Structure 1
Amino acid sequence: MTSSLVALPMVYVGVDTHADTHHVAIEQWITSFGRVARIGVEGTGSYGVELARYLHERGHDVAEVARPNRRLRRSHGKTDTIDAYAAARRLLDKSGVTAPKLRNGATEAVRALRVARNNAVKATTAALNALRGLITTSPEILRSQLRGLSRAQLVATCAAFRPDAGRLADPVQATKLALRSLAARFREAKDQADQLERHLHQLLEQVAPNTLGVFALGPDTAAALVISIGDNPARLIGKAAFAHLCGVAPIPASSGKTVRHRLHRGGDRQANQALHTAVIVRLRYDQRTRDYVARRTTEGKTKPEIIRCLKRYLAREVFRAHRTDFRGPGSSA
C-alpha cells in the first residue's frame, strides 16, 4: 500500500476562473493522474477568491497564476481551456507564480470596511461637486444668497430650502429642490463615511495596533498597507519583497557603461499611494524628516528622489510593525 502511494505521479492543476464557471486543466508530471502537488488559480483576488479559499482550507497548495502574456495568446489562441492549461504549465516553470492572499481573516474584514468607506467618501465628493456646479448656473437670486459661504454653511443653507412643490416650472423653485436633495445626499454619505472610518479605526486598533501607530498613518492609509500584505504575511520573504510589492523598490536600469537604478513602477498602487501620503504628512509635521530632506538636498538629490527614499524607509518601518502585529496576541495567526 505504501509503495503504491509513493509511486503516484505528481499532478499540477491549472484553473481559469470566471463569474459563473471555472475551467480546470491538469498537467501530468509523468503519464497519469496522481497526487495533486499544486493548484494554480488565475484571479484569486476576484472570481477565483472563493475557490482558492476552499482549496486552501482543504490542505491544497494554492498559487496565484498570472494571466498568459499577449505573445503567448497570439501564438496559441485564446480559450478558457487554453488559459487553464497555461496556468498549469506556469506551475512547472514557476514563471508568474506567487502565493495568493488567503482572504479568510481579519485583513479581509479591514478590506471590506475600507471599500465601503472609500465609496462613501466618493459619494460625498460627487454630491458636493454636483451641488456647487448647480449653484454656478442657478438664478442670481440663489447665487447671491449662497455666494461666499463655507462648505458647512453652504450645505446647511441648501438643506434648509423649502421649495414650493406646486411651482416646479419656476427655475428658482426647481433649483431649490435639487440643491436640497444634493445637500441631503452629501450629509447622508458623510455620516456613513465617518461611521465607517470609526469602525475601521477600532478594528485596526484590535488587529494591527503597531501598524496604526506608525507616525503619519491614519485609518485609511494603514488599512491600505495591511490589505496589501494580507492575512498571510509569511508569503513575503522580507522587507525588500514588501517594498517591491508597494512599488518603492529600486530595480536595475543599467546599460553598457551606464550603471543606474530606477523606481519600480508596478506593485500595489493603493499601498504606494498610502506610503506617499504618509511621507507628505511627515514632511510637514516631522522634524527628523525635514532634517533628512535638508541634508539630502545639499548632497544634490532632487525632491522626487528624496521622497522615493523616504517611501522606501517607511515601507521597512511598516513591514516591521505589521510583523509585530501578526505575531502578537491579537493576530489571526
Structure 2
Amino acid sequence: MTDQIAVVGGVDTHTDFHQAAVIDSIGRHLATAPFPTTPDGYCRLLEWMRMHGDVLAVGVEGTGAFGSELARFLRASEVAVVDVDRPDRKARRANGKSDPVDAYAAATAVLSGRAQGRPKTRDGIVEAIRSLRVVRRSAVKSRTQTINQIRTLIVSAPAEVRERLRSLPTYQLIAQLARSRPGADLADPTCAVRTALRRLARRYQHLTQEIADADAELDPLVAQAAPGLMDLIGVGAETAAQLGASP
C-alpha cells in the first residue's frame, strides 16, 4: 500500500477459527475475515492485518482460553495485545450473535480505551502450575463424590453391612472395604453392595494417590513461583498456588 496508516485489530475467538477485524485510527471499519486456529492461520491473520497498515495493537477475546495461543503468537511477533472481555451474553441474545460484529467491537474497545486488560500469559512456570492444578482439582472433586457414594450405599445397605460400617472414620472405612472379599454371587443384594463398596474404596485410594502425586509435582514449582507464601506457617502448595502462583 502506498500510504501506511495506523490500524487496530480485533479478534473474536473460537475453537476452530478466529474472526479478525481491522479498523483505522478513527474507528472506521476496514475489513474482516476468518482464520483457522493453526500456526499457519495465526501467521496469515497477522500478515492480513499488516496489509491494512501499521498494527498498533490487537484486542483479543479470551486470552486465557480460546485466544491463548494467538495471544502468545502475537506477543512473540512484538505486537501489543489487549485482553478484551466477551460481550454480555444477555446483549448477545437480544441483538443476535455476529462474529464480524464482535471482532470489530474488540478492535473498537481497544481504540477507545475501554479495553485495557493485560492478556493472560499462559506460559512459563505459572502455566505449568495451572495445568497440574487442573488434574489435582478434578481428582479432589472425584474423591469427594466417591466417599459420598460410599456413605449413601452404606445407608441403604442391608443391616449386616450397614451396622458394621456406618460408624467407621473414613480412613478405616476405606482400608476395610478395599481389602474386603464380597463374594461372587452378584444376584445377592448383600454381595452386590459389598462389591460396589470395595470398588469405590479402591477408586478412593487411587484418587488419593493421584492427589499425592500432583502435590509432589506442584510443591517445587510453587516454591519457585511463590517462595514467600510457601515460607508462611500453615500455607501449603495448593493454598500458595491459589493465592500467588496461579493466573
8 A contact 2:4–2:54 mirrored in 1: yes
| Change over 3 Å in CA distance of 1:224–1:207 after alignment to 2 | same
Matched, 1:170 2:225: no
**1 CA distance for matches of 2:5 and 2:91?**
28
Closer, same or farther: CA 34–204 of 1 in aligned 2, 3 Å: same
- The residue that corresponds to 1:327 in the other structure is none
Q: 1:146 to 1:209 in 2, by over 3 A?
A: same
Write the mapping of 1:173-322 to structure 2, written as runs, cut at 5 A: 173-228=191-246, 230=247
Give the alignment partner of residue 47 of structure 1, picking from 24, 41, 66: 66
SS at match of 1:96: coil
- 1:272-296 deviation digits (Å, cap 9, x = unpaired): xxxxxxxxxxxxxxxxxxxxxxxxx
CA distance in 1 between counterparts of 2:187 and 2:90 reads 60
C-alpha displacement of 1:207: 2.8
* 2:10 aligned partner: 14
- AA in 1 matched with 2:183: D
Q: 1:25 to 1:76 in 2, by over 3 A?
A: farther
- Structure 1 residues 205 and 71: alpha-carbon distance in aligned structure 2, compared to 1, 3 A threshold: closer
Moved over 4 A (4+): 70-76
Structure 2: how far apart are the matches of 1:227 and 1:210? 11
Distance in 2 between the 1:113 and 1:89 partners? 36
Aligned to 1:116: 135
Residue pair 1:108, 1:227 contacting (<8 A) in 2 also:
no
Aligned-residue sequence identity (percent) comes to 42
Q: SS in structure 1 opposite 2:187?
A: coil
3-state SS, counterpart of residue 198 of structure 1 = helix
Are residues 1:157 and 2:153 paired?
Answer: no
Relative to structure 1, the CA distance from residue 131 to residue 61 in structure 2 (aligned partners, 3 Å threshold; closer, same or farther) is same
Indicate the residue corresponding to 1:27 in structure 2: 23
Partner Cα separation in structure 2 for residue 170 and residue 76 of structure 1 = 59
Provide the secondary structure at the position in 1 that maps to 2:135. Answer: helix
**Greater RCO (CA < 8 Å, at least 6 residues apart):** 2
Instruction: Name the counterpart of 2:47.
Output: none
Which runs of no fewer than 5 residues in structure 2 stay unpaired? 31-51
Query: What count of residue pairs does the alignment treat as equivalent?
Result: 223
Q: Deviations over 1:254-275 (max 9, x none)?
A: xxxxxxxxxxxxxxxxxxxxxx
1:29 Cα deviation after fit? 1.9
Rounded to whole Å, the distance in 1 between the matches of 2:89 and 2:182 is 58
Distance in 2 of aligned mates of 1:76 and 1:119: 37
Q: Determine if contact 1:66/1:97 at 8 Å carries over to the other structure.
A: no
* Aligned-partner Cα distance in 1 for 2:162–2:22: 68
TM-score (norm 1): 0.63
2:166 to 134, 147, 156: 147
User: What is the CA distance between 1:158 and its match in structure 2?
Assistant: 0.9
Question: How far, CA to CA, are the matches of 1:17 and 1:79 in structure 2?
Answer: 12
Give, in angstroms, the shift of residue 110 of structure 1. 0.9
In structure 1, runs of 5+ residues without a counterpart are 231-333
